[in-house]
Amino acid sequence: MTSLLETSLLEGNRVQEGLKIQTAELSTFLTACVGRINVLPAGEVPLGEAVGCAAGASGLVPAGELVSVATTMELTSRGFTSLRVHPRPRVFVVAVGDEIDAAERAKLLAALLELGGVRVTSLAGMSEESDDALEVLENQLDSIDFVVLSADVESELFIALSQLIDLSVVQLKSEPGGVCAFAELRSPGGRAIPLVVLPTEWRAMAVLSEVLVGPMVRRRGGDHEIYQPIVRARLTSAVTPKMRGSTRDRAFIPGRLHEKKGMWHVEPLATLHAPPIKGLSDSVFATSNCLAVIPAGTKELEKGDVVGVMRLDGRRTGG
């Protein structure tokens, strides 16, 4: 990943007349700083239309964007003395399994991550019998900053990989859910490259990409606000056992969140169990802007019941 850049807002004691964010990246995280310490002010800091962010002190800005004098004066009046630019991490998505299924899964996972604001620069679907799988991964290490792998932890490739690096495996208790593995790869130059291994079951993979991988990548890119607060919302329709699967663990169901008469309402999307090859899973997550969180042990919820809702970054909340 390109080195962190820092631009002073002041030239001597004068505000610079137009700062230009110089980076080769498609877009970057921009963070206002006091001295050399990153801060997130209690109130909103209007960074202006040039930056395109009004909440907090971080946001996405296109490469080469000109930050207006009004924006720099606003920031300096609040005590900010510099802007830091964090290039977005370059993510490599890999899926392992049956050749056709792996290719479809890699495309689905990449699409879901990009919906959440993650920059996927390359992807690959690999057969478990592939002899060059590790070589493909190693060849990418010089040009990536993060690896997301969808693979069975009992697959030959995963076992071969675990023999090369130290994998710490943890269990995420959710439905859909599964085993996630976390590790650290090293580029030829010695850079640390995080690796996250997700389940092959598409529902678990989709949910974990939203609630786990996306925030991890954004945090690595310098973004402070990687999660939005959970809100309480009324269901616009019932949630049945068929929709939510097992009742043993907490469930995440894609939905559409909107506000009506001062109250949040969530419409659960009923096609949670549809297989991705039929083209339903990506459309469900593309149209969702939240995940309804269903507590463990819940067998059924009626229309009008209140549930916790996790809003998804980068999606518009309907009115």
Instruction: Say how many C-beta atoms besides its own lie within 10 A of residue 203's C-beta.
Output: 23
Helix axes 133-140, 156-164, angle to 10 degrees: 50
Q: Are 58 and 224 in contact (CB under 8 A)?
A: yes
Q: What is the Cα–Cα distance from 156 to 152, expressed in whole angstroms? A: 9
Same CATH topology for 91-220 and 231-311?
no
Instruction: Give, for all 319 residues of the chain, the pLDDT tens digit.
Output: 444 566 677 666 666 666 666 555 555 556 665 544 333 333 333 343 333 333 334 555 555 666 667 777 777 776 777 776 667 788 999 888 887 888 888 998 898 888 777 888 888 888 776 666 677 777 888 888 899 988 877 777 777 767 766 665 555 555 555 667 777 788 888 888 888 888 887 777 877 887 778 878 877 776 655 566 788 999 999 887 655 555 566 777 888 899 988 899 999 885 444 444 334 455 666 677 888 888 877 778 899 999 999 887 554 444 4
Could you confirm whether domain 231-311 is CATH 3.90.1150.10? no
Domain parsing of the chain, residue ranges: 5-87, 91-220, 231-311
**DSSP annotation string for 288-311:** --EEEEEPTT---B-TT-EEEEEE
* CATH class of the domain comprising 91-220: alpha beta
Strands 306-311 and 290-294: antiparallel
Contact 93, 137 (CB under 8 A): no
The position carrying tokens 């109130």 is 43
- Round to whole Å and give the CA distance between 230 and 214: 17
